[in-house]
Structure 1
Amino acid sequence: MAYDSDLADRVRELIATERGVEEKKMFGGLAFLINGNMSVAVSSKGGLLVRVAPDETESFLARAHVEPMIMAGRETRGWLRVHADGVKTTRQLSPWVTRGVDYAKSLPPK
């Protein structure tokens, strides 16, 4: 399954004013990097992958449409999967993109 190009366009619109943005096809989806650090990715499985501070992962898992990101059968702390139903509207999508971008900007450039 290919990633949702409409969702990718919506993410692009939200990060259009950010500096150091790069798009990269990864894992069948489309990742948005800030200064070389992944911030969010439009998943080939639908929805959005969001990078957050690892110590904040648990607090976000209580929210609707959110689950841990699983990679190679293991939970990846610091990454969340937000299902498509959780990013249908700009009001839903924008805070997730902002979280991912803000966290990526807090990391040293690569």
Structure 2
Amino acid sequence: MPGNRHVRFGERLAETDRRQRRHRAAGRLNMLPLELGGAPKDPTNLWPEPHAGSENSSSKDSVENAVKKAVCADQATLANAQNAMLTDWTTAKSVLGIG
């Protein structure tokens, strides 16, 4: 039945489109940044990170960079930086006294 084949193809195409939209809306990033010792393939370190909104992938990248620079400049210990990022990355800079 040719009609059924086209319906199944259309359903698969729609599902692929839904998956791609979800992927574009959120990336898969590390809870603990790799620069601070996060494991790149550990499933417990992976989480969806939105590209939109105020707490998005870009703002987290900015915090990660500031925290990494603070550790490298001996303004924060690695352990304190890791703890601050894992507890709540949105407050990590203030907790560490770097921003």
Name which structure has the greater RCO, CA cutoff 8 Å, separation 6+. Answer: 1
**TM-score under structure 1 normalisation?**
0.25
Instruction: Name whichever structure is richer in helix by fraction.
Output: 2
Query: Which structure has the bigger radius of gyration?
Result: 2
